[in-house]
Structure 1
Amino acid sequence: MTPSNDQENPGNRWSDLDRPPLDEGALRRALVRDGGLYRSLEVVASTGSTNSDLAARADELPEGAVLVAEAQSAARGRLDRRWTAPARSGLFFSVLLKPEEVPVERWGWLPLLTGVAVATGLSRAAGVDTALKWPNDLLVTVDGQERKAGGILAERAGATGVVIGIGLNVTLRAAELPVPHAGSLALAGAVSTDRDPLLRAVLRSLERWYGDWRGAGGDPAACGLQETYAAGCATLGRAVRAELPGGRVVSGEAVAVDGDGRLVLATGAGVREPIAAGDVVHVRGTD
């Protein structure tokens, strides 16, 4: 099927029949329930950024508010990088969390936790092995090469909140890839690219991991998060280059993720240096 141009048909929800719209009612019935994490779920045709929209209302919304967009015009990744994709070609959504009982110094685990939740959910629902590139990239294998299929952005919001944004390429075709090292679930051979069950699986997985982490007071070892993240992290054991804030660059082998969620590099000088923030490049393999 030749896809229609959504830019020429902005009001047509079915302009690409390979990419049907999400069923908001069915998603809400499946995910929003008494005693669960999710308190509201809204699907919009288009917005600038689901993270920005939720962050603007963080103080008035309850924990567990979910906002999903079929398309975003100003989606952001880490370091203010732009994220672009055709309408309905992926899952673009944000979740508002308010882990008030967890010490703030442990909130840095939230993007890593989300990565584990996404990878776990997709393994079951899509049959795709999703690896994690520290701190927040989702990798799939396409034609034997690592490709970035998604990313996670965590931002403080309001007085006590954190908005977790997730962007995931689902049906993106080879001709639509924004950069050569991008990928999608479809290109990785997913057994299903139906976005409704994929979104349900990811959100249920996030609910479980978040509940366990919160129940452990944010201790990543006690709830199994630290071990599970390390097992699925494609960065560990690799030669990497970390480009740090301020222009400093550190190179070495990624040997661990410590209890604070920092990536530990063993440098050529024999020093183990923890990296809390920065842009990490896999020196061998695809960035």
Structure 2
Amino acid sequence: MLNIGCHLSSAKGYLNMGKTALSIGANTFQYFTRNPRGSRAKAVNPADIAALVSFAQEHQFATLLAHAPYTLNACAADEGLREFARNAMQEDLATMDLLPGNLYNFHPGNHVKQGSEKGIERIAETLNQILRPDQKTTVLLETMSGKGTEVGRSFEELRAILDRVTLSDLMGVCIDTCHIFDAGYDIVNDLDGVLKQFDQVIGLDRLKVIHLNDSQNPIGSHKDRHARIGEGYIGLDALVRIINHPLLCHLPFILETPNETEGHAKEIELLRGLYLG
């Protein structure tokens, strides 16, 4: 079965997200742990989370993905911003313990003139401060497009972070197809070569989920502009090869395409029809 879903709003609660996902043919989904452009998280409702856990088990959902807010910058030069990142991630991971066995994804951050090496050190420092040996969630670094001073624009930068994390067994990676294409990885003409490089640098065992997006810009543009499936420079054929690739087909795929729920439902139906598993 193709494990596929999209990003859903958590505004109406956890169980509602599960029901919405099921209604559009999805068997997984992604949600923001708090306002993506803000700082505060809604009060936790353990009963609502428990209802989602039961619902997901009943309907055989694949692994779910929580996403940290965009405002989080674990490698900011300002200590106050790094403190916010630490506090937000600690709060989010405490909530994620109520959803055991799922994933928590975040953008590594922007070094903002400190240099990538300093950014890498600060990100690892943050992770070493917030990871707990008893936590029930795997934390994911997301591959980035290389826009501005983003850290994580290459597999080597992600590896450098992982190498500095003490509890690295709790860490994984999320590949975003738009991001790595925009970063210069040719997943259209050389998917096998890109996966070989990922395996050599990071290890395919670290790859836990894929953000499945087309790109509005050509390879190497470093723009990070997502497009609907089949409407960008990556194209439908290449994305179908990704969901059917023997090294990837078992993973959860999350759509972050510029669509409303109806549009995501159509994309899910399209991709399910082209899945060969």
Question: Do the two structures share a fold, i.e. TM-score over 0.5?
Answer: no
Q: Looking at both structures, which has the greater relative contact order when contacts are Cα pairs under 8 Å and sequence separation is at least 6?
A: 2
The structure richer in strand per residue is: 1
More helix by percentage = 2
